[in-house]
Amino acid sequence: MATDRPERIAVYPGTFDPLTNGHVDIIERGAALFDRIVVAILVNPEKSPLFSVAERVEMARAVFASRPGVEVDTFEGLLVDYARKRRADVIVRGLRAISDFEFEMQMALMNRRLSSTIETVLMMPAESYTYLSSRLVKEVFALGGSIRGLVPELVEARLAEKARITDSLVV
Ligand code: PNS
């Protein structure tokens, strides 16, 4: 049924180095709530990530290639400026545990101060992902542990490829 309602767009910002199944879980939940969810990968030249921004974009696009309503993009500068540019009025962030809360609250309130019309929605992933982080995935992988089921298969393959190329993974 056609409707005049404007498209409801949410931005899900982050570093995604690499994308984990916890991120995928949040993206799926966001895609069910909003017409479109834009996975926005921060271009941050100060950090030294394992995967380049181009690699992270390519992996996320491949994972969500057949998922309508999910878009992958990059952004620089203030998140609220990017959200405004994309006509998004919601910022989605995942909340795994109480330990995430302080930082997420700070960010949400700072973003609200910068733009009162953009609302932050904190979403809880499935319990099985509440301990999961990109940093731990990289650490466990670099030390030879199994990350099966914690990241999309394609990401696991790319990690293995990177380990082969560099001979070792520094995290
Ligand atoms: O995955 P991360 O590293 O927790 O994501 C952090 C991110 C990218 C959401 C945050 O660093 C961010 O929004 N950076 C953009 C700069 C900005 O807008 N800062 C002011 C808002 S607190």
Q: Where are the domains of the chain?
A: 9-130
What tokens were used for 155?
Answer: 């990401």
Residue to substitute in 26, 42, 46, 113 for testing ligand 1 pocket (most ligand atoms within 8 angstroms of CB): 42
CATH classification code of 9-130: 3.40.50.620
pLDDT, tens digit (0-9, with 9 covering 90-100), for 33-90: 999 999 999 998 777 999 999 999 999 999 999 999 999 999 999 999 999 999 999 9
The percent of residues above 90 in pLDDT, for the chain, comes to 88
Indicate if ligand 1 lies below 6 Å from the C-beta of 120. no
pLDDT score of 167: 63
pLDDT score of 2: 60
Give the confidence band of 163 by pLDDT, cuts at 50, 70, 90.
confident
Q: Is the dihedral of CA 17, 9, 32, 78 positive or negative?
A: positive
Tell me what the mean pLDDT of segment 19-43 comes to: 98
Residue type, 105: M
Indicate if ligand 1 lies below 6 Å from the C-beta of 111. yes
Q: How far apart are CA 57 and CA 16, in angstroms?
A: 9
Indicate if ligand 1 lies below 6 Å from the C-beta of 13. yes
pLDDT score of 168: 57
> In this model, does residue 1 exceed pLDDT 60?
no
**52: CA distance to ligand 1 center in Å?**
17
> In this model, does residue 166 exceed pLDDT 80?
no
Give the confidence band of 115 by pLDDT, cuts at 50, 70, 90.
very high
> In this model, does residue 164 exceed pLDDT 90?
no
What tokens were used for 143?
Answer: 């030390």
